[in-house]
């Protein structure tokens, strides 16, 4: 049976581990990565997404149950 390749998340985690370890500065691959691989953009704050989703959910709930008396 053939071993499966890494998933995109697995490859991401592997890259993070390798960057955290620090590759020798004189390594050709490390230099290429430093020049050509930009740092990933930070993820937006979870609170912004959560509040928008919570508002949308409340609106759907309100419309399903009809007007309140």
Helix count (H) and strand count (E) of the chain?
A: 3, 0
Q: What is the pLDDT of residues 40-69, one digit of tens each?
A: 888 877 787 788 888 899 999 988 876 665
10-40 per-position pLDDT tens digit: 888 888 887 777 666 567 877 888 888 888 8
Reported pTM: 0.29
């Amino acid at each position: 049976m053939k071993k499966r390749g890494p998933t995109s998340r697995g490859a991401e985690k592997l890259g993070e581990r390798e960057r955290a370890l620090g590759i020798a500065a004189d390594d050709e691959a490390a230099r290429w990565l430093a020049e050509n691989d930009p740092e990933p953009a930070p993820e937006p704050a979870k609170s912004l997404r959560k509040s928008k989703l919570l508002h949308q959910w409340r609106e759907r709930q309100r419309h399903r149950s009809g007007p309140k008396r």
